[in-house]
Amino acid sequence: MFSILFYISIPIAYLIHDFDEFFMRRKWSDSKYDMMIAKYPKVASIFSTLKSMTQLEYGIVIFEQFLFLTMAVVWGIYADPIPMCALFWGFGIHLIITIIHSILLRVCFPGTVTSVLLLPYFGFGLADLLHQYTITENVVMATCGFGVIFLNLTLMYWLMKKFSDL
Give residue-wise pLDDT tens across range 15-63. 999 999 999 988 888 888 888 888 888 878 777 877 888 889 989 999 9
Pairwise pLDDT comparison (30 vs 92), residue with the higher score: 92
Closest Cα partner for 10 from 155, 140, 121, 123? Answer: 121
Rounded to whole angstroms, how far apart are CA atoms 50 and 88?
A: 24
Given a contact cutoff of 8 angstroms between Cβ atoms, the answer to whether 15 and 118 are in contact is no
**pLDDT over 90 (residue 69):** yes
Rounded to whole angstroms, how far apart are CA atoms 94 and 89?
A: 9
Helix (H, G, I), strand (E, B) or coil at 118: coil
Across the chain, mean pLDDT equals: 89
